[in-house]
Each structure stands twice: as C-alpha cells, then as structure tokens.
Structure 1
Amino acid sequence: MIESTYIVDDDKISTFLTEHILEGFSKELKCFSSAEAALEEIITVEAERKTHPFVVFLDLNMPIMDGWDFLEAISLKQERLKNRCKIVILTSSIDEEEKRRSAEYNLVLKFLSKPLDKSGLASIQDMICNNKY
C-alpha cells in the first residue's frame, strides 16, 4: 500500500472528486491548493521518511507555481526521494504536447485527464504494485 498521497490542485471541486476516488488508496491523503506548499511539505516530510512510497496527483494549470514549475523543482530533489515518488499528472488539458513533455520527467508515472475515475486509479495501482514504470 502507498503510505502517502498528495493532491496538488487549486480547483476545489476537482480536489473533492479526486479525494472521493482515492479513498483507501493510501494511509494518508493530503491536499494542497498551492504547488509551493506541497513541494515544501514533500521535501521536508518525505525526504525524512526515506522508505515510504508516495504518489502526487498534480494539476498543471495553477497560479504562481504551476505544475511544470513543480516538476522542475522536485526533479532537482529526485536523488533524495530515491524511486519513492511517483507523480500522476491529473489535468483538464488534452494537449498531446503536454503529454509528451510530461513523459520527459522520470518521476511522472502517468498523464490523465480530469476527473480521475476508478479505471484510471486501477491502472495506477497496477503500475505501482507490479513495478511497471
């Protein structure tokens, strides 16, 4: 089982729907409307845990620090997170260029369109449980 899950999305309705689908996915679920606050939490808390896997559901379109900025910043800490961090892009975008660009980041597990549904979640669980990343 996944230890921690983070939802990083400034849309309250989307966050609410994602939270509902993620019930039972992990032991701990934290929601952030600010990518900066989520990044700070992940860097301080998860880097200290050192052994627990965690997943970030990340929206790309947010004010101030967007999802791309978040990906750049967390990629710099990739070594400290040692294969424990998996990021799922969860966005309203259907732009193939964004999908291609997201695949360039080692931490990105999957690119999904909002809203998250049970089949999308099942595919993520399968990838994580069977190390298909």
Structure 2
Amino acid sequence: MLDKILCVDDDLITLMICRKVAERVEFAKEIITANNGEEALQYFDSLFEEKKSNDTLIYPKLVFLDLNMPVMDGWEFLESYITRDYQNVFNLTRFIVVSSSIDPYDINKSKTYPVIGFLSKPITKEMLENLKTQMSLNKKSTH
C-alpha cells in the first residue's frame, strides 16, 4: 500500500471514482485530489516548502493525471513540474495518465516525462489491483 497518491481531474465524478476505488482495494493510505493541473502544482509547491524543514515528508509516489483540463492541462502541469525541478525533489513520484481516449501521440509524448503508464477512464477496481500487483513485483525486485 502506498502512503499517499494524488488524483488530478476536472471531472468531480472521476475524482470520486478514483478515491472510492483506491479505498476499496486499499491502494493508498491517503488520497489527495486536485481539480486541474494548477491545483496539483500548487499542492507540490506547498510540499516543496514543507520539505525544506521536514526531510521525512510523505509525498505522493503516484499521481493519476488527466490530460484535458481547464486552467492548466496535464501536459502544462508536467512541464511546470519539470521546470521547477520537482522530479529531483520528489524523486519517487511517478505519473499515470488517465484519459477517455488513448491517443498514440500522447503515449509517445509521455515518454519524455516521468509517466509510467496510461489507463482509460474510468479507473476500475481491476485496474488498480493489477497496478498494485505490478508495483509489488517491482518493489520486490529492487531489494
């Protein structure tokens, strides 16, 4: 089980589903949500400030990220995240794109970011159980 995940989507129902499914499969102890990339970036900004005085800060190791959102979309968020050099500060955080359409262009573009996969909406119990199993196998192989 992860300590903390972040779900970023402008659709409140999708956020609710992400939260409920993650709770049901005991995917994470804490599930944070953001309504767009800007809110997610503000969340990481606040974590960055807090990390300066708290070296043991618990931050999300996994972010479920929608691409098409108002205010700041997923690509703009990822670009800002990298520009701020957060991938070095929060070096264990990885991203999974959650989209209603899986476009090959987006899949290829994601390879330039710390995106580890794509899921189609809505997130299901089976998807998270499979992901949980994959993450457990990966974790075991790194010890």
2: CA distance between counterparts of 1:114 and 1:91? Answer: 5
Please list every run of 5 or more consecutive structure 2 residues that lacks an aligned counterpart in the other structure. none
Q: Provide the aligned C-alpha RMSD in A.
A: 2.0
1: CA distance between counterparts of 2:33 and 2:109? Answer: 25
1: CA distance between counterparts of 2:100 and 2:119? Answer: 9
TM-score, with length taken from structure 2 = 0.80
In the TM superposition, 1:66-105 aligns within 5 A as: 66-76=73-83, 77-82=86-91, 84-105=92-113
Please list every run of 5 or more consecutive structure 1 residues that lacks an aligned counterpart in the other structure. none
Identity of aligned residues (%): 36
How many pairs align?
130
1: CA distance between counterparts of 2:8 and 2:101? Answer: 15
Identify the match of residue 66 of structure 2 among 59, 78, 82. Answer: 59
**What residue is the counterpart of 1:33 in the other structure?**
35
**What residue is the counterpart of 1:20 in the other structure?**
20
8 Å contact 1:50–1:81 — kept in the other structure? no
TM-score, with length taken from structure 1 = 0.85
Residue 114 of structure 1, CA deviation: 0.4
8 Å contact 2:6–2:31 — kept in the other structure? yes
List, as ranges, runs of 4+ consecutive aligned residues in structure 1 with deviation greater than 6 Å.
none
